[in-house]
Amino acid sequence: MTVSRKQINFLRGWPTPGLLPTTLLSSASQRVLANQDEYTKMQEYGSCHGVTRLRKGLADWVGSHYGVTPNLERICITGGASQNLVCILQCFSDVNYTRAVWVVAPCYHLACGIFEDNGFAGRLYAVHEDDEGIDLETFDRQLQEFENQDKPNRDLKPFKQPSVERKLYRHLIYTVPTCSNPSGLTMSLSRREGLVRLARKYDGLVISDDVYDFLQWPLTAPVTPDRSAEMRLPRLCDIDRSMGPSDNDSRGFGHAVSNGSFSKMSGPSVRTGWAEASPPFITAIARTAATRSAGAPSQLCAAMLADVVENGQLQRFVDETVRPTLQRRHRLMMDAIDRHLSPLGVKARTSSLNGFETFGGYFVWLDMGGEVSTTFLAQVLKAEENVIIGHGQMFAVHGDEKRTNFTNSARLCFAWEAEQDIVDGIERIGQLLVRMKQNREHYLRLASTSYNIH
């Protein structure tokens, strides 16, 4: 029976209500809907590329952040990162021609289902990472071994009709290179460059979820609009662009796409994001059949966001509210971990980028140690303390769980629960770990007989 104490949910990766720019969106909505010429245009189907004002505003904002030349032809508006992942698969993958999907592990667990829904069940493979990101030597070896074993399938005819407007890739590589969900890790510059080179070598497309890039902060210094160089590492699509055309890409589609989202900056309900890649790649996404039929995704929300991006209000909200709030919440969680969990042998990642004092995103990744798996620990926590965590194996790659083992790991979100509940929840975890040590035989016996705790 679950205890009656208040539930504390560290699994939920939502922004706390104070991180929602409700007033900004309300005002923007009124401005957009007050002008008949504008609201008529916004309430119709719209351009497949999306609202031009938002594309231009994003090009300027993103260009300024990363130090690249703004180019709205490299950007289209999407219905969010998950929806756009589906569009990318529709345009650039084929169940016959695309031989494998490589997923950096631990991975964003809900992405695996999207690949499986698109015909790649049983063909997802885990890619190991260390403290700098992808282990490039191991990944290169994996790719080469796969190619050698897959030679009989190289001449399979694509299932989809060929098109000069699209390119099919032999390999897909999925990663969250900045403040990764779940690990919080940021991939170093050298690993980013190496990953793009591997994608070019093996005719791969790197799908980069860049949803946390603007949500970084220094560990100890005050948050300011200015960001240090380590918080502005080039995206994989920028690195790909800087390398020029590749030998197996004569039409200039490129080998990396940035998948962005407003969900963590303006609330998940806006269901709006953007993609950035080469102009041919972006045109192909914008012209997927569903978009051509239904028109630009998130047309009205995109118009509201265009307003607050264009006038700088959203950027200020991120710098003055979102980043400082996340910094404070992260510090509260880390201090509580130091007090209640570290003395019990639990280890936490302390910075996102190896060698630098920065962090970002929503999550802390723990090595719990101990004699039982975090799958079991999560069930006991819920039953005895009413605390919910993300156990490590939840973030293993579907179908390739044995390649990378996360049975002693756990993910905790510091963005959702009330600040005092963050502290109380960590204390409850510590109390359970103490009980488990004091009653070791009882819990080992429970773990060996059943995971079904009631």
The arithmetic mean of pLDDT across residues 321-349, rounded, is 97
What was the pLDDT predicted at 450? 62
Q: What is the DSSP string of 34-59?
A: H-HHHHHHHHS---TT--HHHHHHHH
Name the residue among 85, 87, 80, 83 with its Cα closest to residue 301.
80
Residue 60: pLDDT above 80? yes
Taking the C-alpha atoms of residue 277 and residue 282, their distance in angstroms, rounded to an integer, is: 6
Q: Is 207 exposed, middle or buried (0-12, 13-18, 19+ CB in 10 A)?
A: buried
Taken in order 429, 432, 437, 440, the sign of the CA dihedral is negative
Planar angle of CA 408, 414, 419, nearest 5 degrees: 130
The CATH class, in words, for 22-314 is alpha beta
> What's phi and psi for 75, nearest 5 deg?
-130, 135
**pLDDT at residue 406, rounded to an integer:** 95
Separation CA 212–CA 96 (nearest Å): 33
Evaluate whether 427 touches 381 at the Cβ level (below 8 Å): no
**What is the DSSP-derived secondary structure letter of residue 242?**
H
Q: Identify the CATH homologous superfamily for domain 8-19+322-449.
A: Aspartate Aminotransferase, domain 1 (3.90.1150.10)
Whether pLDDT at 58 is above 60: yes
Token code pair at residue 55: 């594309």
DSSP state of 120: I
The pLDDT tens digits of the residues spanning 209-252 come to 999 999 999 999 999 999 999 999 999 999 999 999 998 898 99
Quote the CA–CA distance of 119 and 283 in Å, as a whole number.
24
Confidence of residue 42 (pLDDT cuts 50, 70, 90): confident
**Mean pLDDT over the full length of the chain:** 94
Q: What residues are paired with 174 via a beta bridge?
A: 103, 207
* pLDDT of 291 above 60: yes
Helix (H) or strand (E) holding 206: strand 204-209
At 454, is the pLDDT very low, low, confident or very high (cuts 50, 70, 90)? very low
Characterise 203 by phi-psi region: left (phi > 0), alpha (psi -120 to 50), beta (else): left
Q: What tens digit of pLDDT does each residue of 247-280 get?
A: 889 899 999 999 999 999 999 999 999 999 999 9
**How does pLDDT run across 166-192, given as a tens digit for each residue?**
999 999 999 999 999 999 999 999 999
Q: What is the pTM of this model?
A: 0.95
Lookup: tokens for 213? 């890039």
Distances (CA, A) of 266 to 1, 242, 315: 38, 31, 10
Sketch the domain layout of the chain as residue ranges.
Answer: 8-19+322-449, 22-314
- What is the rounded CA–CA span in Å between residue 43 and residue 32? 10
pLDDT for res 1: 42
Element (H, E) at 173: strand 171-175
Topology alike, domains 8-19+322-449 and 22-314: no
402-449 pLDDT, tens digit each: 888 899 999 999 999 999 999 999 999 999 999 999 999 999 999 988
Query: Which residue type does 434 have?
Result: V
Confidence class of residue 44 from pLDDT cuts 50, 70 and 90? confident
Whole-number Å distance between alpha carbons of 205 and 45: 30
Q: Are the CB atoms for 32 and 38 separated by under 8 Å? A: yes
What is the DSSP annotation of 268-297?
GGG--EEEES-HHHHHHHHT-HHHHHH-ST
Of 266, 207, 210, the closest CA to residue 86 belongs to 207
Measured between alpha carbons, how far is 260 from 276 in angstroms, rounded to an integer? 8
| Spatial separation of the C-alpha atoms in residues 419 and 365, rounded to whole Å | 18
What number of other Cβ atoms are within 10 A of residue 337's Cβ? 20
What single string gives the DSSP state of each residue in 331-390? Answer: HHHHHHHHHHTGGGT-EE---SSTTSSEEESSEEEEE--SSS-HHHHHHHHHHHH-EE-E
Q: Is the dihedral of CA 362, 62, 89, 196 positive or negative?
A: negative
Buried b (16+ CB within 10 A) or exposed e, 190-203: ebbbbbbbbbbbbb
- Give the pLDDT confidence score for residue 297 in this predicted structure: 85
Q: How confident is the model at residue 3 (pLDDT cuts 50, 70, 90)?
A: low
Strands 387-388, 363-367: pairing kind: unpaired
The rounded radius of gyration (Å) of the Cα atoms in the chain is 23
Angle between helices 323-340 and 419-438 (to 10 degrees): 20
| Confidence band for 370, pLDDT divided at 50, 70 and 90 | confident
Q: Read off the pLDDT of each residue in 373-398 and give the average, rounded to a whole number.
A: 96
